[in-house]
Chain A
Amino acid sequence: MLDLFFTFFRIGILTFGGGYAMIPIMEREVITTHGWLTQAQFLDIVAIAEMTPGPISINAATFIGYQVAGIGGAALATFGVVAPSLIIMIIFAHYLAKLKNSRYGIALEGITVGVVALIAAAVFTLFQPAISSWTEGAIALVALGLALFTKINPIWIILSGGIAGMLLL
């Protein structure tokens, strides 16, 4: 059981840069090192993690923890994968405040621009797998219009997209 915690703690530390970076590392730990799952089971979990809400790492940790040791295992694995974030973010929060008030604070303005570029680039990357038919294009267009020109909460736009998908796709 403790092994679950430490394995996912390690996965939590090693995954720099979002969910997909985590998959090969998790694959190695869970299949090769511990033999907790087969390759096919692992692929199923990744697919389920992708289609359910929430970060892939949390979804995968909960699922694998449950498979290995029931609900307690799920809780331990999930706690393991978020624990590094807790520690690191609390340290980072301290230093960001320092940087902001120093003479290098101007760098943050440029960093902000870099992040906007990252988000814009993500739209291009996500476009192709998400939008491959006219119907999907229409859903995206309506969603974009609603997001830019109304104050509707994005949660409703996401849910409406899903309902449109059930009716049309």
Chain B
Amino acid sequence: MNLLWQIFLSFFKVGAFTIGGGYAMLPIMQKDLVDRLGWIDEQEFMETIAVTQSAPGAIAVNTAIFVGKRMAGLAGALAGCLGVTLPSFMIILTIAVFFQNILQWQPALSFFAGVRPAVVALIASVAWKMGSKLVSGPFYIALFVVALMAIVLLPAMHPVWVILGSGLLTLAWSAWLRREVE
């Protein structure tokens, strides 16, 4: 299958099933990009999220552009961007044109009430899968605990500080290790 088409299709799926905030896309991307297509590994997946979360804009859109660019240059970036945007665009247009009163339609509300706990569980499963693969060794385990505590204790803190902070701590640690050796 044509690579651009595959990028478009993968991110179309992400766009169509990201319900309930940016992180809801993680399980779908992990399944498609890491497990099924093997375009990126776990480490690269988390690096990508770090980058796409440190920039303005929706995480899902940023990630689609970033991965698309990496796989197929500028055309890939556009294919990813179009793929992730199109489902929302079509769904919202349909709602805007035909049923503006969807908020009163009980079956839709019940459907989403059931989707939400499933999505939380899926995000938890991604955290577990990524964590068990990537958080290993005493330093990284300690870093994980410190980062988690910082996020929980300071809920207003922007994620970019966690990302920068953990990068800097790791640099400091590796510099210190090197000095010990010498």
List A residues at the B interface (Cβ < 8 Å).
12-20, 44, 47-59, 62-63, 66-67, 71, 74-75, 78, 81-82, 84-86, 88-90, 92-93, 96, 100, 104, 106-127, 129-131, 136-137, 139-144, 147-148, 151, 153-155, 157-158, 160-166, 168-169
Q: List the A side residues contacting B131 at CB < 8 Å.
A: 116, 120
B140 touches A109 (CB 8 A): yes
A90 touches B111 (CB 8 A): no
List B residues at the A interface (Cβ < 8 Å).
13, 15-23, 26-28, 30-31, 35, 43, 46-47, 49-62, 65-66, 69-70, 74, 77-78, 81, 84-85, 87-89, 91-93, 95-97, 100, 102-103, 107-131, 134-135, 140, 143-144, 147-148, 151-152, 155, 158-160, 162-163, 165-171, 173-174
Name the prevailing secondary structure of the B interface residues.
Answer: helix
Measured CA separation A166–B110 after assembly (Å): 5
B143 touches A54 (CB 8 A): no
| A-B contact list, 22 entries, CB within 8 Å | A13-B57, A62-B89, A63-B92, A63-B96, A75-B89, A84-B56, A85-B58, A86-B77, A88-B62, A89-B62, A90-B65, A110-B173, A113-B144, A114-B167, A116-B46, A120-B148, A122-B23, A126-B21, A126-B123, A151-B35, A157-B27, A164-B114
